[in-house]
Structure 1
Amino acid sequence: MKFIGSKMINGASIFKALLKNNLVRPIELQNYDDFHKFLAIILSTNKIEKVFVNLEIPISNSIEKLAEIDVKELAILIKPSGFYNTKAKKLNDLAKAIIKDFSSFDEFMQNADFEWFLKIKGVGFDTALMLNNFLLKKPSLVINANAKKLLNILDFTFESYEEASEILSEGLDDEYFYKALNTDNLADIYMSFSASIDNLMQDHYKNKDFDELGKKVLKELR
């Protein structure tokens, strides 16, 4: 939290400004079942629907088949996602780890956590956060490049994920957000906030400057 003049800036005030200016972006992952959310987060591509079509018959929503498939064959199937050789190995390794540690995808969904993701080779910190929040629906705030950029623009200083998360998560557990988003789960608020920041920074911040809507949000905060 910080004050600029008489205004207090924290995660809650930022999110309220984004909500006020209709910058809450629908979370596309919410349209998928858990298995397809899992695939979409790992593969991270705007061509995920093409990949889903390719995987429909050989994988057929089975974590067991995903663990058993030849990595070279998997790479060909997920080629539209880009960096497909690396992603194929990551996906296959993760599927094998799920079978080894949880026996089934359902057990994985019930019992996995952020710390478990971090132990898996090839799963980075940001991906682990997304899996924990967007897939398992646990309240861990995704602090990606867009979130860090916004904090820098607002003149916050932070040296770690924990510090950045503390700034942006402050005040989000407020009845206002539960009512505004029609949810009883803090994880949903975190997901929506992350998506809204992405919307602001990707669509309204170009060439190191905000467009008119972005400037309006910034003015309201400052």
Structure 2
Amino acid sequence: MQSLTNSYDLLKFLKEQNFIKKKPTYWWPSSNDFEILVGAILTQNTKWINVEKSLENLKKLNYLTLENLANSDIIILTNAIAPSGFKNQKAKRLKLLCKNIIHEFGSFEYFQKSVSSSWLLAQKGIGQETKDAIMCYACHQDYMVVDKYTARLLKRFNYEFDTYDDIQTWLVYGINENFDKIKKLYGYEISLNEVYCRFHGKIVEFMKRNPKD
């Protein structure tokens, strides 16, 4: 592997691989923002292919709206998301999250604009990675997602960090310090949120195709 001086070098390296050229703008494979939020919960401790099965079941039930999921039958919901594993736990947490969003924000659209990291972290079953995935992909805010692929890829470049926050800080600093270069690299007026989305997506796609050193 080539050497890196910062996360911009990593982004440039990954962009040259052309892995997500034909993917959706924000990479995450869902049809709408609320579906992304649901998927971020369901994908915990499972493969995305299993999440897709659960989402398809929810679509058939017309459960993929904030109000319908909040008012869903817990038994039907549990059975629908069974392919994603931990069905009882995830069903309860999804339903509670939706109820809390309605109680606190009134609508999903207002939630997207107004939610804070601390509010999401206070919700049962939401840790740092899930929180950042929701903030970045579902709410289109400027958050860089860190996952197991990120840490493993950085280790290949001889970068090792102690915590999630340390990795995120390193990634964010290189992007912000070189944002003018990144806009030139893409050749169009790209938002910081889109950079974070695509950067994380490139990391995931690269590691899926290159699982071993």
Fold match, TM over 0.5? yes
Distance in 2, matches of 1:161 and 1:176, equals: 26
Moved more, 51-60 or 75-84: 51-60
User: Residue type of the partner of 2:164?
Assistant: Y
Distance in 1, matches of 2:56 and 2:155, equals: 40
Q: Which residue of 1 aligns with 2:83?
A: 80
Distance in 1, matches of 2:140 and 2:29, equals: 11
Asked if 2 retains the 8 angstrom alpha-carbon contact of 1:29 and 1:40, the reply is: no
Shift of 1:170: 2.8
Question: Which string of whole-angstrom CA distances, capped at 9 and with x for unpartnered residues, describes residues 194-214 of structure 1?
Answer: 1111122221132xx2xxxxx
Q: Which residue of 1 aligns with 2:41?
A: 42
Residue 114 in structure 1 maps to residue 113 in structure 2? no
Question: Which string of whole-angstrom CA distances, capped at 9 and with x for unpartnered residues, describes residues 152-195 of structure 1?
Answer: 22222322222211222233231232341744310110111111
Give the 5 Å matches for 1:120-159. 120-159=123-162
Distance in 2, matches of 1:23 and 1:58, equals: 34
User: Residue type of the partner of 2:40?
Assistant: I
| Gap change, CA 1:65 and 1:177, over 3 Å in 2 | same
Structure number, greater radius of gyration: 1
User: Residue type of the partner of 2:93?
Assistant: K
| Gap change, CA 1:199 and 1:162, over 3 Å in 2 | same
Asked if 2 retains the 8 angstrom alpha-carbon contact of 1:178 and 1:189, the reply is: no
Q: Which residue of 2 aligns with 1:178?
A: 183
Instruction: State the identity as a percent.
Output: 28
Residue 198 in structure 1 maps to residue 204 in structure 2? yes
User: Residue type of the partner of 2:13?
Assistant: A
Report SS of the residue matched to 1:159: coil
The count of residues paired between Structure 1 and Structure 2 equals 202
Give the TM-score, by structure 2 length.
0.84
Shift of 1:49: 4.2
Unaligned ranges ≥5, structure 1:
210-222
Distance in 1, matches of 2:59 and 2:4, equals: 50
Asked if 1 retains the 8 angstrom alpha-carbon contact of 2:4 and 2:10, the reply is: no
Q: Which residue of 1 aligns with 2:8?
A: 12
Moved more, 190-199 or 21-30: 21-30
| Gap change, CA 1:171 and 1:159, over 3 Å in 2 | same
Asked if 1 retains the 8 angstrom alpha-carbon contact of 2:136 and 2:144, the reply is: yes
Q: Which residue of 1 aligns with 2:102?
A: 99
Q: Which residue of 2 aligns with 1:21?
A: 17
Distance in 2, matches of 1:181 and 1:128, equals: 30
Distance in 2, matches of 1:8 and 1:77, equals: 44
Question: Which string of whole-angstrom CA distances, capped at 9 and with x for unpartnered residues, describes residues 16-71 of structure 1?
Answer: 01112324463553651112222222212324443334223544543122112232
| RMSD (Å), alpha carbons | 2.3
Asked if 1 retains the 8 angstrom alpha-carbon contact of 2:33 and 2:137, the reply is: no
